[in-house]
Structure 1
Amino acid sequence: MAALKLVAASVPPVEDPIVIDVMVEAEGWSAVPEAEAICLRAARAALAACGDAVPEPCEVAITLTDDARIRVLNREWRSKDKATNVLSFPQPDLPDDVDAPQPLGDIIVALETLSGEARAEDKTAGHHLAHLVVHGTLHLLGYDHMTETEAEEMEALERRILAGLGIDDPYALPQD
């Protein structure tokens, strides 16, 4: 009788239809514990909250930079010669005949501005980072705050997403 030969079958990993890349471009981000993990959780939570509005497969790029770099980007793309906390650069939709993940766009976060705002608002840098990444991700999905109605809708969604991450309402007025 022939001996049975057991062959270990491996199941190929299921590829995640949402790819989020986080790049640390500037020194100092180590002062924000688990910055990359915070970015990943916040972006995934924002994408999950938007459900059917998120094309799959898709990609998001998040860059953690400094005030000097974001000031250059803000000047070049928005004609504002100053640092800001976060910039979002949505990408146009790919044509239907292109078989590739849809790049949703890029989110750029500046360390010094984030840190200063977090201190001024008595928040942890990690919670403020999560808020900025959620905010930036929503911009990539077409949300805006140019009108009062748009701002109310976007802020309500941000509050809900952040609450799901265990983060307090970033728009709440400080209690005296």
Structure 2
Amino acid sequence: MKEPLVECLIEEAAWQGIDLAGLSERVARAVLLDQELDPDAWEISLIGCDDARIAELNAEFRGKPTPTNVLSWPAQDLAAEEDGDEPWFPEPFVPGERDGLGDIAIAFQTCAREAEEAGKSVHDHVTHLVIHGVLHLLGYDHIRDADAQLMESIEVRILAALGIANPYEI
């Protein structure tokens, strides 16, 4: 049996209700395949936490002591230099061996609240956020306008392939 792409640590029991480990494995594989990367060559660490834990992480790493939905820590800086350009392609540190793409944390309460406010299922919203987090690990970002358009278009494409509607349509 293959090693999982996503090593999932559940810190918040509410995540068990949507099988975050299984969902994140399927979604991360879909993202890597979309990006023409071999899912069996990489690994990702994901923490399913609560709002209190993600607020601590957000304060520590971003200086924002509030809950957020998802945080990502890429193992490599792959960001494009020019707004709207594709990020750099990740290269393993040791060719032929699995390598880490980075870490993701996702908070149940914020995700559930956002899903309810948007009239979406928690499953669909979390699927979107895992895609978003994995794309961050691959160097995509949304601070600059053209970068945001590129990242959103990829999210929408992957969501459609997974049978989930465009979350950016009003």
Q: TM-score range by the shorter chain?
A: 0.7 to 0.9
Give unmatched runs, 5+ long, in structure 2.
77-89
Deviations 1:27-46 (A, max 9, x none): 22234x33322111111111
Partner of 1:73: 57
Task: Name the SS of the counterpart of 1:51 in structure 2.
Answer: coil
Q: TM (normalized to structure 1)?
A: 0.81
Deviations 1:66-112 (A, max 9, x none): 00000000000000110000000111378845764211001110000
The reply on whether 1:45 has 2:45 as its aligned counterpart is no
Code of the aligned partner of 2:163:
G
Partner of 1:23: 9
Deviations 1:16-75 (A, max 9, x none): 6x72211211122234x33322111111111111114x6862111111100000000000
The reply on whether 1:58 has 2:50 as its aligned counterpart is no
Code of the aligned partner of 2:11:
E
* Contact 1:56-1:102 at 8 Å conserved across structures: no
The count of residues paired between Structure 1 and Structure 2 equals 157
Q: TM (normalized to structure 2)?
A: 0.84
Code of the aligned partner of 2:149:
E
Partner of 1:168: 165
Across the aligned residues of Structure 1 and Structure 2, the Cα RMSD in angstroms comes to 2.1
Q: Report which of the two structures shows the higher radius of gyration computed on alpha carbons.
A: 1
- Tell me the distance in 2 between the aligned counterparts of 1:123 and 1:95: 37
Question: Identical aligned pairs, as a percentage?
Answer: 39
Change (3 A) 1:96 1:47: closer
Partner of 1:107: 104
Change (3 A) 1:44 1:99: closer
- Tell me the distance in 2 between the aligned counterparts of 1:19 and 1:69: 24
Give unmatched runs, 5+ long, in structure 1.
1-12
- Tell me the distance in 2 between the aligned counterparts of 1:96 and 1:84: 31
The reply on whether 1:83 has 2:80 as its aligned counterpart is no
